[in-house]
Structure 1
């Protein structure tokens, strides 16, 4: 009797389901074939990000092998299929990202000061940046004849003597130097990482007077510095500082209060020369050039007006970038603007995600380390969100030209600007929360006024003022510029002081941020319905942030500054004389937007000259704050009765807390700490054991020219 199987074998069913899934994804990719290339800079950036996230060379090498395996897997899937090609090329590009940043980090390697030192030396001034709002000048120096010092040093000079120092001259000085500081708390800004790629091996403060060679400064200040000084002479205070920032990128004259108001109101992007400013300059130059060259009949009839105007705009943008110091963000904006001009002249659509992707790819190949900085992430996220929004059918239909009265047309334009601002704010919120632990909530509304005010009033008026100053007719334009800038600052303070203007949250876990970024890119890049699949990782990533508890204790890397969560939700400092930088860092790490109090003023805290002790979440905390030496025998009982003991000094062997003991030795290995108490307490460290990134294990120099080389002591 013949028999037959009553059901399909499991293996066959799995194979059939796999084939259907493969065919379904292949069909979706075929529908999105014009957008696949946009993932190329994403894959390169993923490799760069993986190098920063993974701790050591063994992990980087292991990731390269995994990517090689993935590329081979893609080839096995078949080069003729889109899935196979995407997998092979994506893995290969990601591997190139790892190799690129690894090679870049090795290329810029330079010695770093091993420990703090006070020393006198002579140096050549590479750059001088006046900071009038702080009464300081920041200098980038190249020490001369001192192999025991890093080749590049950044120092701060207080007082007026720095105003006359110009790049290229040689000076003699005595300074207190220290290695570039790492992040003081988990999730805080890591200056050591940036300093490594800038080849800065030490930072410090000038002590006493600076010696200058006879005749120093005869060449005068460079054009950028002279132009900033001229603007400051025309407009005083923060308005003059913003005016200088718009032209030369010099933000040193903006007061701390006004700069903070600009940040809180979502208008800080106006202070940094970026795409908005470069585009305005190029557009203004093209507009003037087209009007002038159109007057020549031969040029107009030959069709040369537009190409010549584009060339004039490109030269104006390049000159503006050079004048502003040619910083990475400005150069990035110039590259994007030039790509738009090229597309415009070729008759292609001027602004598309392809041009954005090309600009991102060029910047990552040129400066791969810029990927992890907020400037790159914020600018490209904003542009990608704007282009993706205006490529959508709904937005194109809403903004399409139509026969309607002028008020309706203006209202439609303002509504489009508001919608664009809201989308940009949503796109930038995760990045701002990750880097700064805060995000402005009313930035979209503020930018509806601020962007037109800056683009169509402030920058043209300032440009005309500078243009006609040569004949002494700039006063009316400077008056308009000053009043408009005062209005801009007033708007910033109005928005910043509004209730609920800023959302603050504690440290954004790196894994959650990666998920949110991947989900956001998935939504922005694809065009068909499966783009909304990205909402899942985006929601999960943001949920990790919302679920992240606030730390109960914050301890900086030197152990001197401790902040404890107070019962009212704020934080209180062990040493209430801490400076503004420490207070801002503690507030950001704690995710609060309120002043920090004094720990000794709280009712549940007991303090004497040497220690403070208090109970928090069922744990007893003992923190030292004195400078007198105390014998270990005298401390043993108090330490044994505490769950957590914290000191900025070395603790004797007899002092051991029940759960955690923190002193100078342990902080040297862990860096700053964020401590979470409760049933399952944990401590999150700034530094990770086994971190093999070059700025953590840099070759050190002593900074002491009297040190005897070890080799000289050899027999």
Structure 2
């Protein structure tokens, strides 16, 4: 009887615990539902997030989905949304599903719309084409983007939409719009230097760029530019860039031109590096700061000028007139600046702000940010993957979310309150300005820091100091002078404005150089997994877009993202796509290169490792021996890796090595008798691209390839036939 009672008591306790847990879950679900339906005014803010999830799903696939599948899914989800409109909570899920499917379909449509032939093998010959864009680089060369009209041995239907050539002839003079003929060499867009690395070929696919290379000789002019608005705009940008660079000169002239027309190739590397280390690289990208200062200054000047005429100020809506004129001016700035993603987002935001002023609505809100994100994603779905889109929207969302909070509003009210005299009023203004810059820089820095670390593997530790020192110069001198330059240039009277702008840029560069020289100003960090960025983004959006107390649940995924940041294991062996360079990770945990040469692949490998050394500093090791036959890595407790240069060393390496990375083909008979656990030859690299090899504690070797990570997508170079390989070898 006692035992039975004990059993019943235990069952009652367990049942009570399960019931309490179920009750807590039900209360939590009820709280979440109440919070969710209590913020219906914030639902629209999630539409670009859901659209982005659909786009992200499209780009995560390892194959290219048929366009008809996306269109059918869009039709079905649209029908489901119409059917669920009057069915309570079901409409919310139907709308969310429709947004995600719409993002997926938009990405499919965009990929099909920009599809164009891509150079599949190195090509030498004569090319005739129309000049789309011309930029002069730091070293005086020209970066020319062409729309090919004809190419030697290339059928018309196989012509790329665009190609980019480096013209390294100082005497060459090329204008946008004209038709030129030039002999040169073109290569396919470069592949990633390691699996999961930056995919330049995917980026330029959406720009229609089907080949990159260089000219053998100065180009020959064939036809003058046509008379159309696109050519006129390109020539205007080119002319403005040249006049600003020549009017100011040096690095300051190149930076000043970049702030007006967006052309950055002429900026010296030392200047760009100083700006990066000081956390001022964002100044070079025409975004919200530039658009607000340009459009805001124009709005203020026009409104102030009209206010000086009482007959106009008292009878007409001069504020709306100023907003309309500033909208037109900002649109002109967008066109002249090249309309990059960050500029598009900024223009949409400021356009919405000026339109809101015209119609007496709130000028800046999170809803406007969501609308801007929707427009950018619908127009260019691929921009979701870029650092420019992610960082610019992260900064704006973070700033608005913080300034929307009750604490920030009370702080702002306290800063702006009071009626002081001229002296104390000036001091209050100065204090408020410094405090505003500090607060804005801190918020924007926290909002964008993770994205900068993910995409560029670096963090500017003293970015707040750099921004505090440079932004007042940019706000007070540089951008107002840029506006004055644009107004005065048609009359040939821009020299005074350019002088002021040049002095302002000089001051900004001085601040950047001083901050960049501080100990530890630029910190490299190891690359992070995509899961970290996704969790950080979703957690940050949850924290920013909701208003209720449940928004603090977003801290959990953000904390998990930080915990996962350094979790992925870095490869133990990396091999470049051409097989000409490899890096071995020793027992000390750092990489060692097999050859001493400047290499983009080597710099990227080190950067992803968070390694501050240059490629020349990591060549060789006591465990690496090289001779004319190749190199061998021998380290106790690690696999023996051989890098034979020719077929003579293959037999010996196959008998002794655990891993063989050969620059030459390895015949089937040799593979059959080779004792190495892994053999990679020239054709393996041709088929797979860059490779990464991982060692496990049980002695197994795992290999990942770039082609596997990229999947079968339109921007991935297709494998050539044997005949094409022979033709490619003959061309070379």
- TM-score norm. by structure 2 comes to 0.86
CA distance in 1, matches of 2:563, 2:140: 40
1:622 and 2:641 are equivalent in the alignment:
yes
Q: Is the 8 A contact 1:290 1:309 kept in 2?
A: yes
CA distance in 1, matches of 2:107, 2:622: 52
Instruction: Encode CA deviations 1:192-212: one digit per residue, 9 max, x unaligned.
Output: 112211112222111123222
Matches within 5 A, 1:132-211: 132-133=138-139, 135-144=141-150, 146-147=155-156, 148-162=158-172, 164-211=173-220
Matches within 5 A, 1:391-402: 391-400=404-413, 401-402=416-417
Q: 1:382 aligns with which of 382, 385, 395?
A: 395
Q: 2:135 aligns with which of 129, 138, 146?
A: 129
CA distance in 2, matches of 1:21, 1:67: 34
CA distance in 2, matches of 1:137, 1:47: 35
1:605 and 2:624 are equivalent in the alignment:
yes
- TM-score norm. by structure 1 comes to 0.88
Matches within 5 A, 1:226-625: 226-400=239-413, 401-403=416-418, 405=424, 406-465=426-485, 467-468=487-488, 474-565=494-585, 570-579=590-599, 581-597=600-616, 601-616=620-635, 618-624=637-643
Instruction: Encode CA deviations 1:445-500: one digit per residue, 9 max, x unaligned.
Output: 21122222112111223433554567776555433322321221122222233222
CA distance in 2, matches of 1:625, 1:585: 24
CA distance in 2, matches of 1:518, 1:137: 39
How far the C-alpha of 1:186 sits from its partner, in A, is: 3.0
Q: 2:651 aligns with which of 616, 619, 636?
A: 636
Q: 1:44 aligns with which of 24, 42, 51?
A: 51
Residue 501 to residue 686, structure 1, CA distance change in 2 (3 Å): farther
Q: Is the 8 A contact 2:48 2:374 kept in 1?
A: yes
Q: Is the 8 A contact 1:293 1:305 kept in 2?
A: yes
Paired residue secondary structure (2:295): helix
Q: Is the 8 A contact 2:294 2:483 kept in 1?
A: no
Q: Is the 8 A contact 2:143 2:164 kept in 1?
A: no
CA distance in 2, matches of 1:72, 1:533: 33
Q: Is the 8 A contact 1:141 1:154 kept in 2?
A: no
CA distance in 2, matches of 1:625, 1:490: 50
1:30 and 2:58 are equivalent in the alignment:
no
How far the C-alpha of 1:394 sits from its partner, in A, is: 1.2
CA distance in 1, matches of 2:68, 2:42: 31
Q: Is the 8 A contact 2:202 2:715 kept in 1?
A: yes
How far the C-alpha of 1:70 sits from its partner, in A, is: 9.8
Number of the residue aligned with 2:5? none
Number of the residue aligned with 2:4? none
Residue 132 to residue 635, structure 1, CA distance change in 2 (3 Å): closer
Paired residue secondary structure (1:188): coil
CA distance in 1, matches of 2:317, 2:65: 58
How far the C-alpha of 1:334 sits from its partner, in A, is: 0.9
Q: 1:106 aligns with which of 112, 123, 130?
A: 112
CA distance in 2, matches of 1:303, 1:701: 73
Paired residue secondary structure (2:258): helix
Matches within 5 A, 1:73-88: 81-82=88-89, 84-88=90-94
Instruction: Encode CA deviations 1:35-62: one digit per residue, 9 max, x unaligned.
Output: 2211010000000011001222469999
How far the C-alpha of 1:361 sits from its partner, in A, is: 0.5
Paired residue secondary structure (1:208): coil
Instruction: Encode CA deviations 1:301-326: one digit per residue, 9 max, x unaligned.
Output: 23420111001100110111111123
CA distance in 2, matches of 1:336, 1:522: 22
CA distance in 2, matches of 1:702, 1:71: 47
CA distance in 2, matches of 1:333, 1:674: 40
Q: Is the 8 A contact 1:609 1:625 kept in 2?
A: no
Residue 151 to residue 98, structure 1, CA distance change in 2 (3 Å): same
How far the C-alpha of 1:625 sits from its partner, in A, is: 6.8
Deviates more, 1:144-153 or 1:534-543: 144-153
Q: 1:658 aligns with which of 667, 670, 676?
A: 676
Number of the residue aligned with 2:730? none
CA distance in 1, matches of 2:355, 2:596: 57
Q: Is the 8 A contact 2:128 2:180 kept in 1?
A: yes
CA distance in 1, matches of 2:262, 2:721: 34
- Structure 1: gaps spanning 5 or more residues: 708-715
